[in-house]
Amino acid sequence: MRKSRTSTTPANIRALDRAFFSRDPRRVARELLGKVLVRQHSGALLTARIVEVEAYLGEQDPAAHSAAGNTARTAVLFGPPGHAYVYFIYGNHYCLNVSCEPDGQAGSVLVRALEPLSGVEEMAKARGIEIHSPKDLLRLTSGPGRLAQAFSITRVRDNGCDLTSGDSNLWIGEDGYRARGIRLTPRIGITKAAEKALRYLLVGNLFVSGPKRVL
DNA sequence: ATATCGATTATCT
DNA sequence: GATAATCGATATG
């Protein structure tokens, strides 16, 4: 009684709806922990659990790109919620954000680290590394630049992509996993408003980026 | 284990 | 012209 799969959507993951993202970025950030980022391209299925994010609060937040207002670069942030804002940084790296709050408000969540679930070989290939031991997995998706590279996320390909549709080739879903041990810390790698605790992570998860500390 | 630095480009001043 | 929501390599403890 096995059913053939005609849809490209993985059977056990269902997409989050737009209402999920149409809220305060702090709320969205907290609830995104434990959700699954899904990439479908050229037959391969890449999935990874979100284990670290940061909230950016829109025009009032000096550390957010949207602080400069609605420009060609930041237009997606000011648009409807649940869309991918992809930017290029330091001449090397792409980073993935999800737009939050209703249309017109620019809050967002930066995805900082993932725990790979499927498609590890594809991710390693995209990253240009080889997996020889379990600890090599840690360099696959721990950090915003790394995870973007592992998922082949670029500005041209993915900026503005709707993340709430399972038919999209990049989306976010949930598989029933319940996040436990959520911790807040200051955001990483910023110079403005660096003291605010807007980074959310799963305590003890090895795939969280940055120096490992005993918490 | 932490520190420093180069890479390389979009965006803003 | 300076800076940036980063990473990897190298140096040093």
Summarised one tens digit per residue, pLDDT across range A91-123 is 999 999 999 999 999 999 999 999 999 999 999
Global confidence as pTM: 0.93
Which nucleotides of chain B are near protein (any atom < 7 Å from a CB)? 1-2, 7-13
User: Can you list the residues of chain A whose pLDDT is less than 50?
Assistant: 3-7
Nucleotide closest in space to A188 (CA vs C1'): C5
Amino acid A22 CA to nucleotide B12 C1' distance, rounded Å: 29
Confirm whether any atom of chain C, the nucleic acid strand, is less than 7 Å from CB of A209: yes
Predicted confidence at residue A210, as pLDDT, reads: 86
- Name the β-bridge partners of A114: A50
Q: Which domains are seen in chain A, by residue range? A: 10-202 (3.10.300.10)
Amino acid A4 CA to nucleotide B4 C1' distance, rounded Å: 55
